[in-house]
Amino acid sequence: MIAAQDRKIAIWNIGVAYIAFLIGTLCGLLQVFIRNDALQLPAWLDYYQILTAHGVLLALIYTAFFIFGFFVTGMSKTLGTFGPKVWLFSWIGFWVTLIGTVMATVMIVIGEASVLYTFYAPLKASGWYYVGLALYVVGTWISSFALIGHYLVWRKKHKGEMSPLFAFMTIATLVLWLIACLGVVATVLFQYIPWAFGWTDTINVELSRSLFWYFGHPLVYFWLLPAYMAWYLIVPKLLGVKVFSDSLARLSFVLFILFSIPVGFHHQLTEPGISNFWKFLQVVLTFMVIVPSLMTAFSMFATFETSGRKKGAKGLFGWFKMLPWKDVRFTSIFIAMAFFIPGGAGGIINASFQLNEVVHNTLWIVGHFHITVGTPVAMTFMGMTFWLIPYLTGRQFTKSMQTLGFVQIITWTIGMLLMSTAQHILGLLGAPRRTAYSAYNNHPSALEWFDGIVTSHVTMAIGGSILFLSAMILIYIVVMTMFLSPKAVKPEDIIEFPLAESDRESSPKFLENWKIWIGIAFALIFIAYAIPLSSMIQHAPPGSEGFKTW
């Protein structure tokens, strides 16, 4: 078990993550009932407040705090106990992030920031909401630099050695995060805050959106890469085998740094202020991200087959029967992987020039978001929760908790299948997103969209209700394993951090030369963004005043 001081930081991060998860999933439940006309909100609360809270608390707050809790645990486990400076800055980062989170959440709750998760201008929130967002990012940066500092100390003591694979992947994810945040920091500090506080009259809308999506797409990989870490490192341990290929795993993470950042324009294919050439270039770079994802898929199936053959599996798919289906930690992650197959296919559609025109502003995008982040990422985090919290608290993951864990992942799977399938099909029919009203003033053609058994608001509401039930089961498991389950005394009750071995010494040293990869990443970013962003600044329209539509 890691040192008590490091465990405390990790537990606090995970605790805050699940408070955000609780509030965010409640907001999600309210949304599906409002769209179904089955719920009337009180006068002081409207749909766009809870839509904003749902997106911010789940996509930004839950993920970030959980990820840093996971990183703190793994870095302490693989590189040793934190030194005094790393410990201090980890706490400073935690509290700054938490203060920013509370500020932003309060502004949403009191009705001063119903600008949705993307906070697109010219919708204008309170200036304090943007200050909260800025503090959130700065706090994560402080936490990131603390972990990077811990890594650098280890490198000095172990010159010439490849770092443990967990540490390498953590640093790769943090590098991606730090570079990606430059865009959102630039727009929040130099555009939104002066505009929201009245220091400037207008805002360059196209520039603000472009800087947001410079950040917004790699944000997806900030969520996804920790899940990939579990796939690469924890799944093989649960299967009783080594990591399939240490060098393949490292190369895939390097490629995510290179190709997940200069691709933001594929979220802006319908916007007129960006020339087709730059959109096309970033679409091509977007498709390059498929390569490390396919590398990961190959590595996972190779791991499954290696494990199966080791246990005597025969035939093409004999390994499937040999997987540890009775281990909820594995089953949750396997289902998460399975969901990522249709999720990845949907991402290819979203990034395609012509197909994006069909789905861009529809419920398809909402379905895609839930089937990529709400399932592969979230369910992997759930599977990790089942061992991570007991490992940190020294408590048992009892048989009743294991049974509840299976109930939780099964209900989450069913709820997500119902809700996301309905959203995908309704999106193809034309149902819009970002709005509480979908029927275009009860236009007959629009009403026909919702007549199907699957394509109806009732199906979405049923799916959303099952998801909320699943979320409450998970919260119960979190509370029990954090505070109430019996302490693990017997050796068989003690939960370990399940990290598989990898043949790190066989990996080429250049894979850990960060100067090369960060340099190439900035070169690609410069090629993709320098000319279009400078054009947006030099040939900017008059700008827009702020609008408050709620």
The residues that are catalytic are 217, 221, 368-370, 433-434
The CA radius of gyration of the chain, in Å to the nearest whole number, is 23
Residue with tokens 């099909």: 425
- The first and second tokens of residue 460, run together, are 């979405």
The DSSP line for 108-148 is: HHTTS--STTTT-TTB---HHHHHHHHHHHHHHHHHHHHHH
CB 485 within 8 A of CB 397: yes
Kindly state the greatest CA–CA separation across the chain.
71
- The first and second tokens of residue 56, run together, are 């911010």
Query: Quick check: bond before 122 cis, omega within 30?
Result: yes
- The first and second tokens of residue 258, run together, are 């290179």
Cα angle 305-373-205, degrees, rounded to a multiple of 5: 140
CB 197 within 8 A of CB 130: no
- The first and second tokens of residue 514, run together, are 């960060």
Residue with tokens 């709400």: 374
What is the distance between the alpha carbons of residues 433 and 87, in angstroms, rounded to a whole number?
43
- Measure the CA dihedral 209/213/216/221, to 10°: 180
Nearest to 80 by CA among 169, 168, 167: 167
Q: Enumerate the β-bridge partners of residue 432.
A: 362
What is the distance between the alpha carbons of residues 55 and 25, in angstroms, rounded to a whole number?
10
Q: Enumerate the β-bridge partners of residue 487.
A: 395
The length of the chain is: 550
364: left (phi over 0), alpha (psi -120 to 50) or beta: alpha
CB 507 within 8 A of CB 419: no
- The first and second tokens of residue 301, run together, are 């199936």
Cα angle 371-373-378, degrees, rounded to a multiple of 5: 105
CB 193 within 8 A of CB 131: yes
